């Protein structure tokens, strides 16, 4: 079995606390025609560089029944800025148009096979995976991007077409797994493989 969720597979369930004080399960988003689950965090320069592009995509497709859910699974031992308190601060500061969930035990990230931050998963009405991978082709310097793969996938999907490029490689920092060497990483750097 592949480490990351495969096209056509069903969205794994979750029950996670959010920055708004509620706990959410997959079924709480049953009203969404399309669900975008993405693994993100507070510190990664690839996330910080592309958050506004993700916001624009979320706002553009919201009228088409597309709902975005962000999940932070990073170990706060590796990056203290990825703790829940900093997540709340990020949402208060930026008012992102998505629910922001904390996966401290990292079980949900493992179930989805999250590889990077950011890493996007697009699910259809039946919660089958129709797209996974990157948001844009240059998330760290979004002004230099040439392709918004996530927006392209959503455009085709909401139009009732098959997604022509359903799989791309996510570009960003590795998910910071608990128990891995918490070596010091400069704030402006990411450990890319």
pLDDT at 191 over 80: no
120 — pLDDT class (breaks 50, 70, 90)? very high
Q: If you count DSSP H runs as helices and E runs as strands, how many of each does the chain have, helices first?
A: 4, 9
Sign of CA dihedral 15, 24, 108, 104: negative
Contact 100, 156 (CB under 8 A): no
Whether the pLDDT of residue 149 is over 90: the answer is yes
| Residue 2 confidence (pLDDT) above 90 | no
Grade residue 185 by pLDDT with cuts at 50, 70 and 90.
very low
**Distance, first Cα to last Cα, the chain:** 21
Q: What is the DSSP string of 28-40?
A: GGTT-SEEEEEEE
Instruction: For residue 53, give the DSSP letter.
Output: H
Give the whole-angstrom CA distance, residue 82 versus residue 173: 13
- CA distance linking residue 81 with residue 68, whole number of Å: 22
Those residues whose C-beta lies under 8 Å from the C-beta of residue 151, and which sit 6 or more positions away, are 57, 60, 61
Q: What percent of the chain has pLDDT over 70?
A: 92
How far apart CA 73 and CA 175 sit, in angstroms, is 7
Q: What is the pLDDT of residues 14-63, one digit of tens each?
A: 999 999 999 999 999 999 999 999 999 999 999 999 999 999 999 999 99
Q: How far apart are alpha carbons 36 and 150 in whole angstroms?
A: 9
Beta bridge partner(s), residue 116? 174
Average pLDDT over residues 171-179: 92
Least confident residue range of 35-39, 47-51, 156-160, 178-182? 178-182
Place of tokens 């590889």: 115
Task: Give the model's pLDDT for residue 179.
Answer: 80
Q: Does the pLDDT value for residue 190 go beyond 90?
A: no
């Amino acid at each position: 079995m592949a480490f990351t969720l495969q096209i056509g597979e069903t969205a794994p369930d979750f029950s996670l606390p959010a920055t708004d004080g509620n706990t959410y399960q997959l079924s709480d988003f049953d009203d969404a025609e399309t669900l975008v689950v993405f693994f993100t965090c507070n510190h990664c320069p690839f996330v910080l560089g592309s958050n506004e592009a993700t916001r624009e995509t979320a706002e553009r497709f919201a009228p088409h029944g597309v709902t975005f859910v962000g999940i932070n699974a990073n170990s706060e031992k590796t990056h203290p800025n990825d703790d829940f308190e900093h997540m709340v601060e990020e949402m208060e500061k930026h008012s992102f148009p998505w629910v922001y969930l904390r996966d401290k035990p990292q079980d949900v990230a493992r179930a989805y096979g999250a590889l990077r931050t950011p890493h996007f998963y697009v699910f259809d009405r039946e919660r089958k995976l129709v797209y996974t991978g990157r948001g844009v082709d240059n998330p760290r310097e979004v002004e230099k991007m040439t392709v918004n793969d996530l927006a392209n996938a959503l455009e085709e999907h909401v139009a009732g077409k098959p997604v022509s490029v359903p799989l791309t490689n996510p570009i960003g920092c590795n998910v910071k797994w608990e128990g891995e060497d918490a070596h010091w990483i400069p704030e402006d750097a990411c450990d890319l493989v």
